[in-house]
Amino acid sequence: MKARTFGRHLREGSKSLSRNGWMTFASASAVTVTLLLVGVFLMLMLNLNHVAKLIENDVEIRLHIDAAATKDDRNAMKEKLESIKQVDTVTFSSKEEELKSLIDSMGEEGQAFKPFEQQNPLNDVFVVKTKEPTGVAKVAAQIEKYPYAAKVQYGQGEVEKLFNVLKISRNIGIGLIIGLLFTAMFLISNTIKITIVARREEIEIMRLVGATNLFIRWPFFIEGFLLGLLGSIVPVAVVIGVYTVLFKEVEPRFDGFFELIPSFPFTIQVSLLLVILGGFIGIWGSVLSVRKFLSK
């Protein structure tokens, strides 16, 4: 396409925005509200996914070794564990290290366990991490049958519930975002339909003098794209401003309980995605309108 022709399409698309002032305002506002909600859901979902990954990475299997096992038995068990395809790492923790960890984790109350350092009742432990957190239950069921496996712990029951909750939350969030995007496309589509109806005589004349459908469509595509971009301005500003403040003021108060995604470059990435989504739903909305009209 020649630069002069594209300039003409750009001018026509821009003029349409001013010709249909209230409809332009209504559509851009609808896109703004939609993208604002999409931005909020995106930030919530991505942070939820971030926290979920941290939680999932902390899920581990603790295989307590029978006191009767010798050093050779432990080495053989470790080799067997490492040979499992789903297993990522296997770490040995002696009963002395286990007792020290218990005492340290309980603070002042842990001092009550100090006398047990002379006669330690705990077992040596293999800490097993799987490549995929969802494979924990399957691996645990397999290794609890091993010789000298005194006990296997991995939060049975609770881990499965956690994974189900995270999966449902992600699916709900994705469903809501898709629904919001389709709503915005519908609104932009209707706006551009009104523009097409208002200019139907002009379009018919253009057809009569030999203008192709593609030539006629371009201004409407640009109009839809500009509507999407206009609608993305406020959401981008809100995403950058609110999340930056939220991260600085709120995240430190969790004191390591869980971590939010750092504001940079996270807010820039989300903002770029919102701009792209705004342009996309604008163009797609115009495609739906123009195709229906020009196919007649």
pTM of this prediction exceeds 0.85: no
Percent of the chain with pLDDT over 70: 86
- Determine the average pLDDT of the residues in 4-21: 70
DSSP 3-state helix, strand, coil percentages of the chain (rounded to 5)?
A: 75, 10, 15
Nearest by Cα to 67 from 146, 148, 143: 148
Q: How confident is the model at residue 248 (pLDDT cuts 50, 70, 90)?
A: confident
Q: How confident is the model at residue 8 (pLDDT cuts 50, 70, 90)?
A: low
Q: Are 43 and 262 contacting, i.e. CB atoms less than 8 angstroms apart?
A: no
Q: What is the mean pLDDT of the chain?
A: 81
- Are the beta carbons of 112 and 67 closer than 8 angstroms? no
Give the C-alpha separation, 120 to 63, whole Å.
Answer: 17
Structural domains in the chain, CATH included, are 3-55+167-294 (no CATH), 60-153 (3.30.70.3040)
Place of tokens 């029951």: 157
